[in-house]
Amino acid sequence: MSKKSSVILVVDDAPENIDVLSGILSPEYTVKAAINGARALKIALSEQQPDLILLDIMMPDIDGYEVCTQLKRDPRTRAIPVIFVTAMSEIDNEKRGFSLGAVDYITKPVSPSIVRARVKTQLALYHQNRELEETVLERTKEVRDTQLKLIQCLGKAAEYRDNETGAHVIRVGRSSQLLALAAGFSDEEAEKLLFAAPMHDVGKIGIRDEILLKPGKLTSVEFDIIKTHTTIGAEIIGNDESEVLQLAKVVAIAHHEKWDGSGYPFGLQGEDIPIVGRIVAIVDVFDALTSSRPYKDPWPLEQVVDFFKEQTGKHFDPSLCSKFLELIPQMVALRDEFPDEEA
């Protein structure tokens, strides 16, 4: 027996009407039935969603108009095509049905040939639209992945000049995304920070080697020059209209500001520091402390945790720091997933 490709949900409070439509459609499709609106909505949200709904209008409790309204309001069922099947044939009734999102209108008593033709047409459009949406999503993902790799490459260019590794910018991006989600960012907002955070130190490209790579202690003048990597980074990123690049510019400027106002370049304090800067400040320091560098060994995790607790309310936003400490296991897992190259 061949597999039936599409599922049709027939909704009608009269069992005999369901029998008629089921008899017309069951040779070609899998037919499900609901005798009221509440049951129809439940089936529409089930694991095996219908590909099309034939919906009666005049039903007790929840009529067809309300069922259609709820289906189109819910993003999980919005795309399912709805065909009204009803004895009501007034033009105003048809207009109302179409305004609610129905794709067609069949008048009772139904004609088998009309039912089959209308169902076939709407299913073809539905599947075509789904294929187009999947193609768009696939292309969008490809573009997104390419953009992220390019951004990470730009971030790596700066990190390699400072005895750090390319994996650092990847971990900072993903750690920032995790902390942003914990702080209440939406998935979309957190993903933008995933893209923006790797560019936090891009301004190091503009710092002279004899200062950036100096093995000994920096003079106060040299350290002032190092501080300019924040504003240099903002200049490199520029004023592009891209939301990600706008966010990256804020991160570049603000990720060395400190909660108590002792940071740079502007000495901002508390919530005057953009939250994305406060987030990246935390994850950047954590990754630096737990990383091995030519000039230092990684700190033990217990020592790192103690440092963050001691710096809460000084270097770091207390609320974000508290959320970050709860995420420590996930941050450690990111280090395992994206180890430094020399490891």
Regarding predicted confidence, which is higher, 213 or 124? 124
As beta bridge partners, residue 83 has 54, 104
Residue 143 CA to residue 137 CA, distance in Å, equals: 10
Question: Using the 8-state DSSP alphabet, how is residue 239 labeled?
Answer: T
Q: Is the pLDDT of residue 214 over 80?
A: yes
Give the pLDDT confidence score for residue 1 in this predicted structure: 36
Report which of 161, 179, 168, 172 is spatially closest to residue 195, judged by C-alpha positions.
172
Give the pLDDT confidence score for residue 166 in this predicted structure: 65
Residue 262 CA to residue 141 CA, distance in Å, equals: 41
Could you tell me the pLDDT band of residue 242, with boundaries at 50, 70 and 90? confident
Q: Which residues contact 276 (CB under 8 A, 6 or more apart)?
A: 176, 180, 193, 196, 197, 247, 250, 251, 254
The predicted-structure confidence for 85-101, as pLDDT tens digits, reads as follows 987 666 667 788 888 98
The predicted-structure confidence for 225-236, as pLDDT tens digits, reads as follows 999 999 999 998
Q: Is the pLDDT of residue 126 over 50?
A: yes
Give the pLDDT confidence score for residue 267 in this predicted structure: 97
Give the pLDDT confidence score for residue 327 in this predicted structure: 97
Could you tell me the pLDDT band of residue 155, with boundaries at 50, 70 and 90? low
Q: What is the architecture of the domain spanning 7-133?
A: 3-Layer(aba) Sandwich (3.40)
Backbone angles phi, psi at 118, to 5 degrees: -65, -40
Residue 250 in 3-state DSSP?
helix
Q: Is the pLDDT of residue 58 over 70?
A: yes
Q: Alpha-carbon Rg of the chain, whole angstroms?
A: 29
Report which of 49, 84, 50, 79 is spatially closest to residue 67, judged by C-alpha positions.
84
Q: Is the pLDDT of residue 3 over 60?
A: no
Q: How far apart are the first and last CA of the chain?
A: 56
**Token output for 47:** 């694991």
Give me the sign of the Cα torsion angle 268, 274, 277, 283: positive
Backbone angles phi, psi at 54, to 5 degrees: -100, 115
Mean pLDDT across the stretch 14-42?
Answer: 94
Query: Under CATH, what is the fold of the domain 161-337?
Result: Hypothetical protein af1432 (1.10.3210)
Give the pLDDT confidence score for residue 231 in this predicted structure: 96
Residue 202 CA to residue 252 CA, distance in Å, equals: 7
The predicted-structure confidence for 134-153, as pLDDT tens digits, reads as follows 888 787 777 767 666 666 66
Q: Per-domain residue ranges for the chain? A: 7-133, 161-337
Report which of 82, 63, 71 is spatially closest to residue 12, judged by C-alpha positions.
63
Kind of pairing, strands 30-34 and 7-11? parallel
Q: What is the pTM of this model?
A: 0.60
Give the pLDDT confidence score for residue 157 in this predicted structure: 64
